[in-house]
Amino acid sequence: MESFNELQQEVLRLKKEKNALILAHYYVPLEVQDVADAVCDSFAMAQKAVRAENDLIVICGVRFMGESAKILSPSKTVLLPSLDAGCPMADMVTPEDVLRLRAEHPGAKVMCYVNSSAAVKAVSDVCCTSSSALRIAKKLDCEEIIFVPDVHLGSFVAAKVPEKKFWLHDGFCPTHHKISEADVLAAKRAHPGAVFTVHPECKTDVVKYGDLVGSTAEILDFARKTETDEILIGTESEIVARLKRELPGKKIYGVGSSFVCPNMKKVTLEALYECLRDEKYKVELPEDELRLARESLDRMVNS
């Protein structure tokens, strides 16, 4: 316990007292990650919530991540440390948008990125993650795919599945969208020996320079295993901080200075402490929405 500060020790005490499971996303502050039982991507958090024996789950991430955990574990109490930690990309698509696209393209099936609300999942055919999107698109039994909400991930997948017609929604992650081709070229000039890893939520003219294009978990896995000792990280800044601490023998660089998700930074240690202490900000969803969204997530798992 000597390595934890006073507030972290209080969080750990409350976690034990309440038999809570704390799951954190890679983009929340490191001091929050350090007291979590697991640090992972959004869908892995939901899966761990399902397998856990704990009845109290704290999701240290944004709103849709808490919803996903509740969808897959409806009988458990799921808490969010920050009520206003939303996801702008998820907010860019509504169920009405999906139903309109279905009416415009009646032969298409809807692939919904997991970065979306439970309500949108409920009117989609199948969910996907950034790491499973390509596999699911190839296996989906249809000739046309409506992909929501991320236009960049959708474009990346569409380019690799030319045999199918894609109809893309115009949503995006503001944090990944900020990074420009000029930012990447400047970073590559500054670090000419570095390998460039990039998340497919970035724009096409950024992704095209990637030596590795992959999910956050795939970027972390690559950095840990590669023999290359210089790596450019094309995703949120907390990944750079985590890898610098974890891999002191390697040179880890970020791309640009604006790769910060403001909503993830709302999940502070103080917010986590208050959430556990007061058991506040419970995730609640309508029964029909839970059931239909669960079907969409189940199809992703079984694809």
pLDDT score for 88: 97
Is 139 found in the same domain as 68? no
For residues 36 and 43, give the distance between their C-alpha atoms in angstroms, rounded to a whole number. Answer: 16
225 close to 246: Cβ distance less than 8 angstroms:
no
Mind listing the pLDDT tens digit for each residue in 5-29? 999 999 999 999 999 999 999 999 9
Specify if 243 maps to a domain: yes
3-state secondary structure of 299: helix
User: Which domain-ending residue is among 111, 146, 172?
Assistant: 172
pLDDT score for 24: 97
User: Which domain-ending residue is among 138, 172, 206?
Assistant: 172
Is 186 found in the same domain as 250? yes
Is 112 found in the same domain as 144? yes
Residue 242 has pLDDT above 50, yes or no: yes
What domain range includes position 198?
180-254
Beta-bridge partner residues of 146: 110, 167
Is 109 found in the same domain as 53? no
Mind listing the pLDDT tens digit for each residue in 128-157? 999 999 999 999 999 999 999 999 999 999
Instruction: Quote the tokens at residue 270.
Output: 């103080």
Element (H, E) at 83: none
Specify if 300 maps to a domain: no
Specify if 148 maps to a domain: yes
Specify if 68 maps to a domain: yes
The CATH code of the domain that includes 95 is 3.40.50.10800
User: Which domain-ending residue is among 152, 172, 192?
Assistant: 172
Mind listing the pLDDT tens digit for each residue in 174-222? 999 999 999 999 999 999 999 999 999 999 999 999 999 999 999 999 9
Average pLDDT of the residues of the chain: 95
Element (H, E) at 110: strand 109-113
73-102-151-42 Cα dihedral, nearest 10 degrees: 0
Specify if 297 maps to a domain: no
Strands in 165-168's sheet, in edge-to-edge order, are 126-128, 109-113, 144-148, 165-168
The mean pLDDT of 229-247, rounded to a whole number, is 97
pLDDT score for 37: 97
For residues 144 and 125, give the distance between their C-alpha atoms in angstroms, rounded to a whole number. Answer: 13
How many domains does the chain fold into? Answer: 3
Mind listing the pLDDT tens digit for each residue in 78-128? 999 999 999 999 999 999 999 999 999 999 999 999 999 999 999 999 999
One DSSP character per residue, 35-58 reads TSSEEE-HHHHHHHHHH-S-SEEE
Confidence (pTM): 0.94
Is 79 found in the same domain as 136? no
Specify if 41 maps to a domain: yes
Q: Which of 282, 294, 288, 303 is nearest to 56 (CA)?
A: 282
- Around Cβ 190, how many Cβ atoms within 10 Å? 11
pLDDT score for 1: 42
Specify if 105 maps to a domain: yes
Is 156 found in the same domain as 99? yes
One-letter amino acid identity for 173?
A: C
In sign, the C-alpha dihedral spanning 134, 60, 117, 75 is positive
Is 100 found in the same domain as 165? yes
Residues in the chain: 303
Specify if 69 maps to a domain: yes
